């Protein structure tokens, strides 16, 4: 992927695009891959960096959702379990099978959760990735070495998928790009254009790096802007009612010593009625998440003190050596875009299924859903695009389409920091082949340094900015500005004061 070549293609194009997608998160990137692999001319524009929104801030699970099973949302669980097996097949380099253990402190819990997970297995059917089973106290402790032992009677072992969200995102975009999709980050849509009949026939965006304005013609526009869907819908219909409501979720990242195991801990019921996961991730421990109704969607949301306390307190109920505030290596928050289905409903009970809306001018909005179901969401959106715009219908092919990983490089390279698993070559690769433009793109989303250890990420920021400046032919001022703005950004990922 190369940004300047992609910009040149956009400038040279005189024909309308078959499909233009707004938003470079999981949903929009999935749409770009789906549309390009069907043979449609496809453009995707993202206002910040790819994955800057919710799609970099997930719990990193490719799952049916045990929680949705408890809510009785059988069709959503089945669909997600099917998508899980498609992803394990198509992207095995980034999605893997993960063992989870639900600890049980009574016989009743063993029976209840043991039965629940058998239903989960059954719903997966031939897509199941490993049978769940009730395990003994000893086996539970072997899986979860730092678990509280008092009154522990055993556990339930089950399997789900785990991944690195932005790594998969970049690989989806790379595969889409290889199939002919043109993808641009730092391209902010400012307006939609319409023909004499009031039908959308294109859009205007700004290259936020240069300020240059572009107007592109399109047979169809898909709005895949997640939590930002309503402002884009209002570009089409100023009077459109808001359909999205927001729920924030945060995660805390700790040293692996708090769960020195390859298995994950699943806490099936917290004081707010949710589940909480403690998951090994890139040799760290990630704990989350919360579900807090928030009024507005920020592109860079901030964890609330109450959310941090809730995670620390819940983890402390289950772990013998308890992580404290001082142990937090990184904090990240994300906003769930939930489609409203009624007024006065708690956000945690709103549907995680996806929704498709088409307004009078033909703007397609695809939103809600989960990372796990991004492929299915894209299929539905592109089917709809073909149905309403007169582009020739073509069959979706993504079910059997491998998602390509980064090319293998043998470059010997120095590690950036003893506490981070990244090298100088990773930085060069991100700039040369993955369209990283800013320091936070490399430290937050091409590598996951900021999400793993915010302090270490700050410590390497100047070195990384200098490597990037050499690659991008930028001067010292650029380096200084990038380092300063990264330090500013990283403060909300850093350990809060006790
Ligand atoms: C805390 C949390 C944990 C989660 N955990 C999981 C999980 O473990 N597994 C799972 O399957 N799902 C999970 N999810 C859900 C999943 O992360 C989301 O459903 C998914 O990432 C939404 O992707 P999206 O592309 O719709 O939105 P986003 O990723 O937010 O992408 C929308 C993009 O649109 C861009 N945009 C907005 N306006 C414009 C404009 N005018 N011009 C150009 N671009 C624009 C934004 O910058 C943004 O990048 C979780 C969600 C949260 C919040």
Q: What confidence tens digit (pLDDT) does each residue in 199-232 have?
A: 999 999 999 999 999 999 999 999 999 999 999 9
Average pLDDT over the chain reads: 94
Q: What distances in angstroms separate CA 162 from CA 66, 280, 428, one per listed residue?
A: 14, 10, 27
Q: What distances in angstroms separate CA 319 from CA 94, 339, 343, one per listed residue?
A: 29, 36, 38
**Cβ-contact 454, 420 below 8 angstroms:** no
**What pLDDT was estimated at residue 318?**
96
**Cβ-contact 9, 211 below 8 angstroms:** no
Q: Which residues line ligand 1 (CB under 6 A)?
A: 22-28, 45-48, 52-55, 57-61, 188-189, 224-228, 232, 249, 289, 299, 334-336, 367, 369-372
Within 8 A by CB and 6+ apart from 41, the residues are 15, 17, 18, 19, 180
Ligand 1 centroid to 323 CA: how many Å?
29
**Cβ-contact 218, 16 below 8 angstroms:** yes
Instruction: Report which protein residue has its CA nearest ligand 1's atom 50.
Output: 58
Within 8 A by CB and 6+ apart from 400, the residues are 90
Of 49, 371, 435, 451, the residue with max ligand 1 atoms within 8 A of its CB, to mutate for a pocket test, comes to 371
Q: What distances in angstroms separate CA 270 from CA 67, 223, 312, one per listed residue?
A: 12, 35, 12
- Atom number, ligand 1, closest to the C-alpha of residue 48: 47
**Cβ-contact 427, 449 below 8 angstroms:** no
Q: How does strand 95-104 pair with strand 133-135?
A: unpaired
Query: SS in 3 state form for 291-338?
Result: CEEECCCCCCCCCCHHHHHHHHHHHHHHECCCCCHHHCCEEEEEEEEE
Averaged over 384-406, what is the pLDDT? 93
**What pLDDT was estimated at residue 352?**
53
Least reliable range by pLDDT among 70-84, 132-146, 429-443: 70-84
Q: What confidence tens digit (pLDDT) does each residue in 25-43 have?
A: 999 999 999 999 999 999 9
- The single-letter DSSP state of residue 55 is G
pTM: 0.96
Spatial separation of the C-alpha atoms in residues 67 and 72, rounded to whole Å: 9
Instruction: Report which protein residue has its CA nearest ligand 1's atom 41.
Output: 189
pLDDT band, very low/low/confident/very high, at 73 (cuts 50, 70, 90): confident
**What pLDDT was estimated at residue 453?**
97
Question: pLDDT > 70: what percent of the chain?
Answer: 96
Question: pLDDT > 90: what percent of the chain?
Answer: 88
What does the domain layout of the chain look like in residue ranges?
A: 3-54+167-243+347-400, 101-161+246-339, 415-493
Asked if pLDDT for residue 462 goes beyond 50, the answer is yes
Which has the higher per-residue pLDDT, 330 or 353? 330
Tokens 């997930």 — which residue?
A: 58
Spatial separation of the C-alpha atoms in residues 129 and 105, rounded to whole Å: 26
pLDDT band, very low/low/confident/very high, at 272 (cuts 50, 70, 90): confident
**What pLDDT was estimated at residue 319?**
97
Ligand 1 centroid to 103 CA: how many Å?
31
Of 20, 21, 25, the residue with max ligand 1 atoms within 8 A of its CB, to mutate for a pocket test, comes to 25
Averaged over 341-346, what is the pLDDT? 50
**What pLDDT was estimated at residue 175?**
98
Burial 480-497 (b: 16+ CB within 10 A, else e): eebbeebeebbeebbbee
**Which class is 101-161+246-339 in CATH?**
alpha beta
Instruction: Report which protein residue has its CA nearest ligand 1's atom 48.
Output: 53
**What pLDDT was estimated at residue 481?**
98
**What pLDDT was estimated at residue 348?**
47
Within 8 A by CB and 6+ apart from 265, the residues are 100, 101, 103, 144, 147, 259, 277, 278, 279, 318
Token pair in block for residue 11: 């400038």
Within 8 A by CB and 6+ apart from 42, the residues are 17, 18, 19, 20, 21, 32, 35, 36, 176, 180, 181, 182
CB atoms within 10 A of CB 90: 20
Ligand 1 centroid to 16 CA: how many Å?
27
**What pLDDT was estimated at residue 350?**
44
60 backbone φψ class: left, alpha, beta (φ>0; ψ -120 to 50) = left
Averaged over 65-81, what is the pLDDT? 86
Averaged over 460-483, what is the pLDDT? 98
Asked if pLDDT for residue 339 goes beyond 90, the answer is no
**What pLDDT was estimated at residue 354?**
87
Domain 3-54+167-243+347-400 in CATH: superfamily?
FAD/NAD(P)-binding domain (3.50.50.60)
**What pLDDT was estimated at residue 345?**
44
Asked if pLDDT for residue 497 goes beyond 60, the answer is no
- The single-letter DSSP state of residue 271 is T
**What pLDDT was estimated at residue 347?**
47
């Amino acid at each position: 992927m190369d940004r300047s070549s992609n910009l040149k293609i956009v400038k040279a194009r005189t024909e309308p695009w078959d499909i233009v997608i707004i938003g470079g998160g999981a949903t929009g990137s999935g749409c770009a891959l789906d549309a390009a692999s069907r043979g449609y001319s496809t453009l995707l524009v993202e206002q910040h960096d790819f994955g800057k929104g919710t799609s970099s801030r997930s719990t990193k699970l490719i799952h049916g959702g045990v929680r949705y099973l408890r809510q009785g949302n059988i069709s959503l669980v089945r669909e997600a379990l099917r998508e899980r097996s498609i992803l394990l097949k198509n992207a095995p380099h980034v999605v893997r099978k993960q063992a989870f253990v639900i600890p049980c402190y009574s016989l009743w819990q063993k029976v209840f959760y043991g039965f629940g997970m058998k239903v989960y297995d059954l719903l997966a059917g031939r897509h199941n990735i490993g049978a769940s089973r009730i395990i003994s106290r000893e086996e539970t402790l072997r899986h979860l070495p730092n678990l509280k032992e008092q009154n522990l009677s055993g556990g339930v072992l089950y399997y789900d998928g785990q991944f690195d969200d932005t790594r998969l995102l970049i690989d989806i975009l790379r595969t889409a790009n290889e199939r002919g999709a043109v993808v641009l980050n730092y391209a902010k849509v400012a307006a939609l254009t319409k023909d004499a009949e009031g039908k959308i026939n294109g859009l205007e965006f700004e290259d936020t790096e240069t300020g240059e304005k572009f107007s592109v013609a399109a047979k169809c526009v898909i709005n895949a802007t997640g939590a930002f869907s309503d402002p884009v819908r209002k570009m089409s219909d100023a009077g459109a009612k808001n359909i999205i409501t927001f729920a924030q979720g945060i995660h805390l990242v700790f040293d692996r010593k708090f769960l020195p195991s390859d298995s994950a801990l699943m806490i099936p019921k917290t004081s707010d009625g949710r589940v909480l996961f403690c998951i090994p991730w890139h040799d760290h421990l990630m704990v989350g998440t919360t579900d807090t109704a928030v009024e507005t969607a920020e592109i860079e949301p901030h964890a609330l003190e109450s959310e941090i306390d809730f995670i620390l307190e819940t983890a402390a109920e289950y772990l013998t050596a308890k992580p404290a505030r001082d142990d937090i290596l990184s904090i990240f928050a994300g906003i769930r875009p939930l489609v409203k289905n009624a007024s006065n409903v708690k956000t945690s009970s709103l549907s995680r299924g996806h929704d498709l809306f088409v307004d009078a001018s033909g703007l397609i909005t695809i939103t809600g859903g989960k990372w796990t179901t991004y492929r299915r969401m894209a299929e539905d959106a592109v089917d709809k695009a073909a149905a309403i715009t007169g582009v020739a219908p073509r069959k979706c092919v993504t079910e059997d389409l491998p998602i390509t990983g980064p090319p293998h490089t043998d470059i010997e390279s120095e590690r950036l920091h003893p506490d981070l698993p990244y090298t100088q070559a990773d930085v060069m690769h991100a700039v040369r082949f993955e369209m990283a433009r800013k320091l936070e793109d490399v430290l937050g989303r091409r590598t996951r340094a900021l999400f793993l250890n915010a302090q270490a990420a700050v410590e390497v920021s100047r070195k990384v900015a200098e490597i990037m400046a050499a690659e991008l032919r930028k001067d010292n001022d650029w380096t200084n500005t990038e380092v300063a703005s990264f330090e500013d950004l990283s403060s909300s990922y850093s350990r809060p004061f006790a």
